[in-house]
Amino acid sequence: MKRLGMWNRLAIVAAVLTLAIAPLWVISDQNRANFEAREAGLRLCRKLNAGTGKDDFEAWMERDQGCFDEFTRPLPKLGWDFYLDALMWTAVICAVTYILIWLTISTAKWVWRGRQASKP
């Protein structure tokens, strides 16, 4: 049985670390993006409402409450389905990266062997 070389072991460790960290980072980033979009929507809604009907304070408060209700309802939770999708795509990216690195190194070795063989 052939033993794994140092570079393959390093690739396995890097893939495991990436699979452990990347999906969580994606979920965190998506939560941040959702929050920032909601916050921007609330600010814009309030800005638009501030320019209309300032004389009627009760109507303005009612429109502001509408903005608040629209943009502060709970965000959908990113559950296991989203996590598993992120995990799958991370695994695909790791595999493609490994294959590209392997092909690059194999090509470089092939070219190097050809240069060594052609020397007198």
Please report which confidence band the pLDDT of residue 42 belongs to, taking 50, 70 and 90 as the band edges.
confident
Instruction: Decide if 120 is inside a domain.
Output: no
Over range 5-23, report the average pLDDT: 89
Instruction: Decide if 59 is inside a domain.
Output: yes
The Cα 46–Cα 60 span in angstroms is: 9
Indicate the number of domains in the chain.
1
What are the pLDDT digits (tens) for 46-86?
777 766 655 666 666 777 777 777 777 777 777 788 889 88
User: DSSP character for 118?
Assistant: T
Over range 104-117, report the average pLDDT: 86
- Percent of the chain residues topping a pLDDT of 70: 85
Q: Find the distance separating the first CA and the last CA of the chain, reported in whole Å.
A: 37
Nearest to 85 by CA among 38, 34, 11, 30: 30
Instruction: Cite the DSSP H helix spans in 4-79.
Output: 6-50, 57-72
Cα dihedral 90→92→95→100 (10° resolution): -110
Instruction: Decide if 69 is inside a domain.
Output: yes
pTM: 0.63
Instruction: Decide if 1 is inside a domain.
Output: no
Please report which confidence band the pLDDT of residue 119 belongs to, taking 50, 70 and 90 as the band edges.
low
